Amino acid sequence: MGDCPPRSTLPVAVRPPEDLADEAEAVARVRGISVDALVVDSLSAEVARVRSDKDFVTRARELLERDKELLDRLAK
């Protein structure tokens, strides 16, 4: 794990359907930004949206607690 690049530069491959890729490219061009910037903006907006979703946050906490319990059991 120590060899991983900083998260801000972690490359991620996205393979959307062709029609969505075309539309995303058009939106990015109109906005004067790269498709990469459009993807980052979209991800940021989605993360902000789910942070304000109380049901999502509750489910996330439950899943993380379960993961912690499993890791604790494995560590014994």
Domain boundaries, the chain: 16-75
CA distance 36 to 33: 8
The pLDDT value given to residue 67? 95
The pLDDT value given to residue 74? 94
Provide the whole-model pTM: 0.69
Ranges of residues in the chain with a pLDDT under 70 are 1-8
The pLDDT value given to residue 9? 75
The pLDDT value given to residue 65? 96
Smallest Cα–Cα separation from 27: which of 41, 46, 10? Answer: 41
Dihedral class, residue 32 (left if φ above 0, else alpha if ψ from -120 to 50, else beta): left
The pLDDT value given to residue 72? 93
